[in-house]
Chains A and B, each alone.
Chain A
Amino acid sequence: MADADRSTPLPVPLVALCGWILPGLGYVLVGQRARGLIAGGAVLLTFLMGLLIGGVRVVDVPGYDVQGQPRMLRVARGSDASVWALRANFKGEVFNKPWYIAQALVGPVNALATWGSLRAADASYRQATARVFDIGTLYTAVAGMLNLLIIVDATYRATQPPEPDAEPAESEDARTPVSAAPSPSAVADASPAPTLAPNPDRPA
């Protein structure tokens, strides 16, 4: 989609949404495919490295405990009725694990990792401890923050006139320095002298 001749700008929310769904897709939509591949690839690679370092359980899902079970809260003291903590206290649960907000900025890839994290917890895979967990969380959260940056940049570029992704090839004219450009008088001197056309009526 090298739409350098794109006349109507794409809707900014669409570019932002696509950039969230697949990191780098926002750039591709505004016609900067190479930029999108580099930035999106870097974000996805960082996220995957975080999962490789700390295991998929570095995605610590709000509303679930360390064993991957839904955290339930009693409705009232002495009552057997309980409600899911994420539903009862959404803000508190999410702010209790704020790194998940940054991880969620990677998009559906994080949703997949969330599902994997809960499945791994069911299969009794424990969370990493100490530094390895921290480093894995850092990688995945930084990936989300970087994706936010490229979403913002892609949406900004969507409002600007299309710009080429690659450096324009230098033409012979462009390579000529301004100072070396011939002066008008030099051009006049260099132009071929007027010649008389042979008169067809005149005998040779």
Chain B
Amino acid sequence: MSGILAYVPFLTPLPVWDYWVWLIIPLCASVSVVYKTIKCRYVRQIPREALSITIWILLSMAGVAVGLQVLYWLMVEWN
């Protein structure tokens, strides 16, 4: 709580030490929006396409994370 109170926008770092993983979501959304802005023929298509690709990126990264965690557990168990 004291970290939030001491936060000065643009001058001090955001106190997100425990929640930093969630910062992947806005970054994925931003990359998706710009990518689909380039790819889509019509602007009207951009929101739906960007949302779709954002979800795909997040699910894929979560899948890779789960896979690596399983691999890690297996290696620890075998040793």
A104 at the A/B interface (Cβ < 8 Å)? no
Contact between A42 and B13, CB atoms less than 8 A apart: no
The contact of A150 among B13, B16, B38, B46, by CB within 8 Å, is B38
Name the B residues within 8 Å of A136 (CB-CB): 13
B11 at the A/B interface (Cβ < 8 Å)? yes
Contact between A56 and B27, CB atoms less than 8 A apart: no
Contact between B12 and A55, CB atoms less than 8 A apart: yes
Of the candidates B13, B14, B20, B42, the one having the most CB atoms from chain A within 10 angstroms of its own CB is: B13
**Interchain Cβ contacts within 8 Å, total number:** 84
Chain B's interface: helix, strand, loop or mixed, by majority? Answer: helix
Name the B residues within 8 Å of A131 (CB-CB): 17, 20
Name the A residues within 8 Å of B43 (CB-CB): 32, 34-35, 38, 165-166
A18 at the A/B interface (Cβ < 8 Å)? no
Instruction: Identify which of residues 11-60 in chain B touch chain A, using a CB-to-CB cut-off of 8 Å.
Output: 11-14, 16-17, 20, 23, 26-27, 30-31, 33-35, 37-38, 42-46
Interface string of A123-157 (1 = CB under 8 A from B): 00100110111011011001100100110010000
A120 at the A/B interface (Cβ < 8 Å)? yes
The contact of B14 among A35, A39, A45, A52, by CB within 8 Å, is A52
Contact between B37 and A132, CB atoms less than 8 A apart: no
Contact between A146 and B42, CB atoms less than 8 A apart: no
Name the A residues within 8 Å of B78 (CB-CB): none
Given contacts A52-B10, A55-B13, A133-B13, whether A138 and B27 have CB atoms under 8 Å apart is: yes
Instruction: Compute how far the CA of A103 lies from the CA of B46 in the bound complex, rounded to whole angstroms.
Output: 25
A114 at the A/B interface (Cβ < 8 Å)? no
State how many angstroms separate the Cβ of A123 from the closest Cβ of chain B: 8
Interface string of A31-57 (1 = CB under 8 A from B): 010110011001101100101111110
- A residues near B, CB below 8 A? 32, 34-35, 38-39, 42-43, 45-46, 49, 51-56, 116, 120, 125, 128-129, 131-133, 135-136, 138-139, 142-143, 146, 149-150, 153, 165-167
